Each structure stands twice: as C-alpha cells, then as structure tokens.
Amino acid sequence: VMAAATDVVLIRRITGRQGFDLVVTLGALLLLTAGTEIVFGSSDRSYLPLLTDRSTTVSGVFVNASDLLSIALGVAAVVSGHFLINRTGLGVALRAAAENSPVARSVGIDVLNLRTAVWGASGLLAAVAAMVLASRLVLDARYMTPIVVNVFIAGMLGGLDRYWPPMLAAFGVALYNSLASYIFGSDAATPALFALVLVVLILAPRRFLEERREARA
C-alpha cells in the first residue's frame, strides 16, 4: 500500500522530468528511514526465524530450513517475473509502457494505473524479502541502506532495461562483498564495492553499460 501511495502522491507529480523519479525515491527512502528511527529507535532488533534455525551440514556447508525457504522464494519470484514479462499480455503492456508511454497510451494502455500496480507489486516483493531478511539477521533502522546501494549498483552494471543481467550482477556483487569481507574484514566491503564499480565503468565496453538500441519501423 505504501509503495503504491508513493507512486500516486509523489511520482505522478514529476512525470516527464528525467531523473527526478530516482531523486524523489531516494528522498522518500531517507524520510522513511529517519521516521522509523524516531518511532522505533536505533537499537538492534532480532526476530523469530520463519522456519527452524537448526542447521545440517551438506558438503561442509551449514544449511537450515530458513535458508532453503529464502532460496525457494527467490527462485519462484525470478521465474514468475520472467514468465509474466515475456509470456503474457500484461508483460507486453508493461514493456510498452516502460519503453514509450505516449505510444502505449495511444493504443489504450492505462499507463498510470499500470505503473501504480507495478509499484504495489514491487512493494509486496520487498516486504517478503524484508521478512526473510529480518528472520535471519539482526536489524536496525538503517540496515537496508547498504542493500539499496548494492541494488542500484547491480542495476547500473546489468542495465535497467534488461531482466537477467542485473540479477546476475547482483549475485556477483554479493559474492564479491562476501569475499572482500572475508579477506579484508567487514569494514572493507563498502570501499571494495566502489572500487569494483570504478574498474567496471573504466574497463567495460560502452555497449555493455548502455541501454539496448532497437530499430523500429
């Protein structure tokens, strides 16, 4: 509900202003983070696991039921999203609205309400992910800030007009962060991440970072 309200109250008012939606979204995130800290405090909080936290060893790796649930939910969300976008009429409408809103409106697509529905669905997925995360880790009001930074970096590296590359980039960023923390300590994870971004932006081919260009009749 809050995600859909963000689109209706804020994003619709800045339609046509390129880049403003990103700035407004980040501003809303900072406002909500500060409000959460005021209402609930800045102390760490822990929550009950969704399933049992009793671990078993599989090839030297500790695995529990909550880990398996996280993996299953992630795979289900990714596969369902790919099917929706590529195999359904709703997916065609979503791609058309994202590619060229005026043309989509001209063929009868309700772009505004469709975008609000996407915001609501995104908020639902984020809420599920947050519940899974909260069941496994100790959280505070600002814990999601580094995760949001990682998401933006993965989107920048993979391309916001693609489906699989940003997800693969996010997986790679997570592995890179974990490896940097293991080798250099937890304080080195963020500097190592930004160093990776600089290297990729300098060395990657331009066509890898740009949006795809498609010829249209």
Domain count, the chain: 1
Nearest to 193 by CA among 205, 183, 202, 180: 180
Q: Which structural domain, as residue segments, surrounds residue 189?
A: 143-210
Torsion angle, alpha carbons of 199, 202, 207, 210, to 10: 80
Per cent of the chain over pLDDT 90 is 11
Residue 217 lies in a domain: no
pLDDT of 44-85, one tens digit each? 777 777 777 777 877 777 788 888 888 899 899 999 999 999
Residue 191 lies in a domain: yes
Torsion angle, alpha carbons of 55, 56, 61, 64, to 10: -40
Residue 76 lies in a domain: no
Residue 35 lies in a domain: no
pLDDT at 215 over 60: no
Residue 118 lies in a domain: no
Residue 193 lies in a domain: yes
Residue 115 lies in a domain: no
Residue 204 lies in a domain: yes
The answer to whether residues 97 and 111 touch, using CB atoms and an 8 Å cutoff, is: yes
How many whole angstroms separate alpha carbon 202 and alpha carbon 200? 5
What does each C-alpha distance from 114 to 7, 97, 121, 206 come to in angstroms? 11, 8, 11, 32
